[in-house]
Amino acid sequence: MKIYCVEDEEEIRNLIIYALTSVGYEVEGFSESAPFWDRIKDNQPDLILLDIMLPGEDGIAILKKLKASEKYENIPVIMSTAKGTEYDKVIGLDLGADDYLTKPFGMMEMISRIKAVLRRSHKTEKVQLKNGPIIMNLDRHQVEVNGEKIILTLKEFDLLKLFLNNIEIVFTRDQLLDQIWGMDYVGESRTVDVHVGTLRTKLGEIGSCIETLRGVGYRMVKIVEEENI
């Protein structure tokens, strides 16, 4: 689990990094927004601890950008605010922060808040899988592409789920047979090709995100959408 901590006060930042590292989290600290944006571009954390009062771009502005971006909107954020700034707290929660800590806060309190937020976010993460315009709702067993519902067979659904859970990972036909049809299945790898084919067709234009690697197998590539940032 990786956590980014944006906090300009070095002493507090170091204390947070120390406390979180000691309980097993991977933590990176940032004193202002620029290096944070640089880093998050290619390396997304599981949670962000965000101080509101920062030099330059403040925590509220950072939060707004995160929540306006399809790429970052689902990363949980815990804001930290100085005592007596109720207004900031309310704004932060309104803008989609998951929780807040009032300074000065204890490290134990911080860790328990982080754990709680991570627990909650993982629940929602499991219900929905996504790649660009493809959204799979596991609760309702539904798939939408660009907001349009598509009807899949059970095997096509399982296949798509496997791909969505493993974007950019290559699967051989044998691996797909094992995972979707089970070890005992006495079919042949042609079965896989047929199902990948019908799945692609049903996904429409976007179906090409499931690539064939000649002589190897299949992989779903990440669909890059226009970014807000």
Nearer to Ca ion, 82 or 194 (CB): 82
Report the residue number whose CB is nearest to Ca ion.
Answer: 53
Nearer to Ca ion, 78 or 162 (CB): 78
Q: Tell the smallest beta-carbon distance from residue 63 to Ca ion (Å).
A: 14
Residue tagged 């970052």 (tokens): 72
| Cβ contact 189:167 at 8 Å | no
Binding site for Ca ion (CB under 5 A): 8, 51, 53
Whole-number Å distance between alpha carbons of 16 and 10: 10
Q: Tell the smallest beta-carbon distance from residue 9 to Ca ion (Å).
A: 5
Nearest of 192, 214, 210 to residue 202 by alpha carbon: 210
The total of other beta-carbon atoms located within 10 Å of residue 115's CB is 14
Nearer to Ca ion, 8 or 193 (CB): 8
* Edge-to-edge strand list for the sheet holding 170-172: 170-172, 217-220, 210-213
Identify the DSSP state of 86: H
Nearer to Ca ion, 56 or 106 (CB): 56
Q: Tell the smallest beta-carbon distance from residue 108 to Ca ion (Å).
A: 21
Whole-number Å distance between alpha carbons of 5 and 14: 10
Q: Tell the smallest beta-carbon distance from residue 139 to Ca ion (Å).
A: 39
Q: Tell the smallest beta-carbon distance from residue 68 to Ca ion (Å).
A: 23
Which amino acid does the sequence have at 151? I
Nearer to Ca ion, 51 or 88 (CB): 51
